[in-house]
Chain A
């Protein structure tokens, strides 16, 4: 029920976005009756509520939905399953007693400071954007510089326009979406500047958000200086050399009153870190076993807090799995520990989960370092899978069957992405 909170739960989910809602439903599916979702915003739904464009739900619902529609469908399911949701509540810490039971400390707008006891916790806090500080742009520090997602929140939820003449640094999908969004709202978008020689967003977004509106995309170009005292007045942009350093001899000025930054996402793991849970330095998320359990027993993680996903549908699937295992845990089921470590090899940036168990089938998520086409994924000596292409911006997923792992007697499984050998072809 919306706004209800009791003293004891089986599963408490931190975060009410797509991952949190998916996890709560997963926990209910496996028979856990007492599930609570905590969210710091005034309503659950997470980032979906501000993503008003369509493109969500193609895998899960088999139809193209906007973010708010996807969120509402899930919230309705959550309420129908009698899951408690407490919006306007912030988790300040989790204490674990010797018996493994967890006490979640919550600051709630409606209930004040409260403590809730639970057997397992699912971390589903999502991610946040990298800011100007993370990319260190020289120049003054005027107002009018904000991340693309923050601008999205202002425009789509609050009804503010951040400015009239917009420049965008970084070609991540949120930046591209905002270029179109602000154009529709009557703003002039001067251009999108991308450091790399390729766009970081989907081709679909480059075509439909930029080309449709004649917004220029400057590749291998970056913002070299910010001008303006109180409000940003213009930026100096410069093409970059192969070492990614700006070539100031070819620089030019772009007048603007707003600079949006869209340069990547970082999982939001302060709570995780405070608990002393082990993190993966590459993903920025916790290290997890094949049950998506972190290094702290009974503490699970899913969604963008674990690693940044491309599609909400994948988040939902992963979250439901994490929720199911969290529900199992709270009912006293203890699965045998994983005994195979998964390590990234050639051209693999990371893989999740970090360990495997031969007792069931696993879906492995991984990202490559560099684009390659065609190529193959090799998992130790167990299997090979040919792919037409891999791109760093696109998550790769594949399944490993338990009978394959049964034949494996080592403790470390290495995953490589390799070019095809002569004579090999992708079917």
Chain B
């Protein structure tokens, strides 16, 4: 049976509406694209949609309370939420260097690590003590 999947191309601001005709796993045709990028994108999205992900983790001993991190390679689209949850369990201590691997072969996939997106220096204990105590993740948004 021939089925059609619809995508919007993200290659440029035109955003061509793409239609991908397929028979189970076999791609028959991509239509609606004004340039080659559209066809390539639809094929990629159909066979193996991947996303890069970045988030933050808790850091202590630094000027900021959160350290930005990213996953070094694109992961499968369906794994995004699971990945984010796993990364959030990480806790790191300053100092951290940019590019430092915080979690190797994350998700069991070789070469896909969680890395720090910036360096953070260690600052004096006295300065962080009051910050970390008071500034736990707040429960804001709960109407009293």
Contacts and interface: CB of A to CB of B under 8 A. Distances in A.
Interface of A: 42-43, 49, 52-54, 64, 66-69, 71-72, 144, 155-165, 181, 183-185, 202-204, 206-208, 212, 228, 230-231, 233, 257-258, 373, 388-389, 391, 393-394
Given A71-B118, A163-B140, 4 more contacts: A43-B63, A69-B117, A202-B13, A389-B14
A172 B123 CA distance: 36
A67 B98 CA distance: 12
Contact of B13 (A67, A162, A391): A391
Nearest to B136: A159
A230 B144 contact: yes
Contacts of A66: 54, 68, 70, 117
Given A202-B13, A393-B13, A161 B55 contact: no
A375 to B, nearest CB: 13
Of the candidates B12, B55, B117, the one having the most CB atoms from chain A within 10 angstroms of its own CB is B117
A64 B140 CA distance: 34
Nearest to B49: A212
B27 interface: no
Given A66-B117, A157-B64, A160-B140, A72 B98 contact: yes
Interface residues on B, range: 35 or more
B94 interface: no
B64 A160 contact: no
B64 A203 contact: no
Given A203-B15, A206-B8, A388-B14, A160 B138 contact: yes
A388 B80 CA distance: 35
A207 B77 CA distance: 12
A394 to B, nearest CB: 5
14 contacts: A53-B54, A54-B54, A69-B98, A69-B117, A156-B66, A157-B64, A160-B138, A184-B53, A203-B10, A203-B13, A203-B15, A206-B8, A207-B10, A257-B142
Interface in B14-61: 14-15, 34, 51-56, 58
A365 B54 CA distance: 31
Nearest to A212: B77
